[in-house]
């Protein structure tokens, strides 16, 4: 039999099967109109059932943080269900603690909307939106850190608190076929509300950082979601200590500039830890800021300066440098952003100095 007859038969049969599957989807997956009630009536809307809660909420412009795109591999999209939402699925088991299960916490990407649902999500997620953004400028800050400045194409403005983060959605590249979302803190100011600046350090083998460093060019358009996170300025102290490492400078920069711009009466010190001089960035920016503002101090520190660095500043681990500068815990808050190792060590030292747990804020990555 000729090849064309074969091709036609196979195509016809597969089309028929596809039609059947679509029909079945229409019939079986039709759960009618369901009402979703968020935070006891704060937001109420009717949707067509049948999709996952994560996708349903996204269709209503409510974005629950999720890094895996709904495959139950990141465990981030937790929501608390108020009413009965059925039994916990085997795919959710590994990500929920006993406490969470008892409190009705579920993974939004696994839970299907089949009936009216009542749930609770943090208020701040209501302001999370999906943005289309064009890469305006890429600046190489150090050998492995780049700054990306985006112009927002739609929506054209963003409202956020200094210190919060956005999620970037990658596109498939090279051998990486999956799409991932990763979080990066905003380095830009809330007043600069038509643009976003993110700082990305290249992690060897990292899906998103490799994408950002090697595949994103100026002029590209990306999808960003946010703002997320509770790492922002909190009330309660007049003296602020900022401790950052690597790309952790992003949210800290945003907070410091925000405080100065708003003219808040705060005394601020920024400790930035790096290994050698080539790992430092924004040095001139912060130096000038320190020269201009009496209430801002800048302390860059190198843990292992090379002889050719001719380093005159502070040396040693950031924890030791901090110990030398901070003695009195009174009226102080600390904001930490960097690797978990650095943060854990710093929290220990700060608590040793006498800072209370509730005046230490951090963003681990």
Partner 1 sequence: MGESPAISPFVILLASIFTSNMVLANFLGMCSFISVSSEFKTASGLGKAVTLVMVFTTMINWLVYRFIVLPLGLEYLRYIIFIMVIAATVQIIEMAMDRYLPELHMKLGIFLPLITVNCSILGISLFMVIRNYNLLQSLFFGIGSGLGWWLAISALAAIREKMAKSRLPKGLDGPAITFITTGIMALAFVGFSGIFVIQ
Q: Is 91 in the site for partner 1 (CB under 8 A)?
A: yes
Q: Is 285 in the site for partner 1 (CB under 8 A)?
A: no
Q: What residues are paired with 6 via a beta bridge?
A: none
Residue 109 CB, shortest distance to partner 1, in Å, is 14
Residue 20 CB, shortest distance to partner 1, in Å, is 6
Q: Is 8 in the site for partner 1 (CB under 8 A)?
A: no
Between 25 and 230, CB nearer to partner 1: 25
Between 24 and 285, CB nearer to partner 1: 24
Q: Is 11 in the site for partner 1 (CB under 8 A)?
A: no
Q: Give the other-Cβ count within 10 Å of 220's Cβ.
A: 14
Tokens of 57: 């909420």
Q: Is 29 in the site for partner 1 (CB under 8 A)?
A: yes
Region from 5-13, 32-40, 173-181, 237-245 binding partner 1, contact rule CB under 8 A: 5-13
Answer for which of 43, 61, 89, 341 binds partner 1 (CB under 8 A) is 89
Residue 70 CB, shortest distance to partner 1, in Å, is 15
Q: What residues are paired with 148 via a beta bridge?
A: 138, 198
Between 72 and 223, CB nearer to partner 1: 72
Q: Where are the alpha helices (DSSP H) in the chain?
A: 3-28, 53-59, 98-102, 207-210, 249-262, 283-292, 318-325, 340-353
* Helix/strand/coil for 180: coil
Tokens of 9: 């038969």
Region from 24-32, 158-166, 253-261, 277-285 binding partner 1, contact rule CB under 8 A: 24-32
Please provide the DSSP assignment of 210-279 as one string.
HIIIII--TT-EEEEEEEE-S-S--SS-SEEEEEEEGGGHHHHHHHHHHHHHHT---EEEEEEEESSGGG
Which positions from 105 through 124 interact with partner 1, judged by CB under 8 A? 112
Tokens of 353: 């100095």
Helices (H) and strands (E) in the chain, counts: 8, 17
Between 52 and 193, CB nearer to partner 1: 52
Q: What residues are paired with 225 via a beta bridge?
A: 130, 167
Half-sphere exposure of residue 261: CA atoms within 13 angstroms, side-chain side: 12
Query: For residues 47 and 360, what is the distance between their CA atoms, to the nearest angstrom?
Result: 42
In the sheet that 296-302 helps form, which strands lie side by side, from edge to edge? 314-315, 296-302, 267-274, 239-245, 332-338, 360-364
Region from 17-25, 202-210, 285-293, 341-349 binding partner 1, contact rule CB under 8 A: 17-25
Residue 29 CB, shortest distance to partner 1, in Å, is 6
Query: For residues 281 and 291, what is the distance between their CA atoms, to the nearest angstrom?
Result: 17
Query: For residues 176 and 189, what is the distance between their CA atoms, to the nearest angstrom?
Result: 33
Answer for which of 3, 87, 102, 327 binds partner 1 (CB under 8 A) is 87
Q: Is 93 in the site for partner 1 (CB under 8 A)?
A: no
Q: What are phi and psi of 48, to 5 degrees?
A: -80, 125
Q: Is 21 in the site for partner 1 (CB under 8 A)?
A: yes
Q: Is 9 in the site for partner 1 (CB under 8 A)?
A: yes
Between 21 and 153, CB nearer to partner 1: 21
Q: Is 13 in the site for partner 1 (CB under 8 A)?
A: yes
Residue 106 CB, shortest distance to partner 1, in Å, is 13
Between 25 and 291, CB nearer to partner 1: 25
Interface ranges with partner 1 (CB under 8 A): 1, 6, 9-10, 13-14, 17-18, 20-21, 24-25, 28-29, 31, 86-87, 89-91, 112
């Amino acid at each position: 039999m000729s090849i064309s007859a074969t091709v036609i038969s196979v195509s016809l049969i597969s089309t028929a099967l596809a039609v059947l599957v679509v029909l079945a989807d229409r019939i079986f997956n039709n759960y009618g109109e369901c009402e979703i009630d968020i935070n006891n009536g704060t937001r109420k809307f009717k949707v067509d059932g049948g999709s996952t809660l994560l996708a349903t909420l996204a269709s209503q412009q409510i974005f629950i943080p999720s890094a895996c795109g709904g495959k139950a591999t990141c465990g981030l999209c937790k929501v608390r269900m108020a009413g009965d939402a059925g039994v916990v699925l085997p795919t959710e088991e590994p990500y929920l603690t006993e406490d969470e299960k008892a409190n009705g916490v579920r993974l939004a990407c696994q839970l299907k909307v089949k009936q009216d649902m009542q749930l609770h999500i943090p208020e701040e997620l209501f302001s999370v939106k999906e943005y289309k953004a064009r890469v305006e400028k890429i600046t190489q800050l150090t050998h492995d850190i780049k700054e990306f400045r985006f112009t927002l194409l739609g929506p054209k403005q963003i409202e956020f608190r200094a210190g919060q983060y956005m999620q970037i959605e990658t596109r498939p590249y090279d051998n990486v076929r999956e799409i991932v979302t990763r979080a990066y803190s905003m380095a830009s100011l809330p007043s600069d509300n038509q643009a976003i600046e993110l700082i990305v350090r290249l992690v060897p083998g990292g899906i998103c950082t490799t994408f950002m460093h090697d595949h994103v060019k100026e002029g590209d358009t990306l999808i960003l979601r946010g703002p997320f996170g509770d790492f922002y300025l909190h009330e309660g102290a007049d003296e602020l200590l900022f401790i950052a490492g690597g790309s952790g400078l992003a949210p800290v920069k945003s907070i410091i500039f925000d405080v100065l711009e708003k003219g808040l009466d705060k005394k601020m010190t920024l400790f930035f830890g790096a290994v050698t001089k080539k790992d430092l960035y924004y040095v001139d920016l912060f130096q000038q800021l320190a020269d201009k503002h009496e209430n801002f101090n800048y302390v860059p520190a190198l843990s292992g300066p090379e002889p050719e660095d001719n380093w005159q500043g502070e040396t040693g681990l950031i924890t030791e440098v901090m110990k030398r500068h901070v003695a009195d815990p009174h009226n102080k808050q600390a904001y930490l952003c960097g690797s978990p190792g650095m943060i854990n060590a710093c929290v220990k030292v700060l608590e040793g100095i006498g800072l209370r747990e509730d005046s230490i804020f951090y963003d681990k990555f």
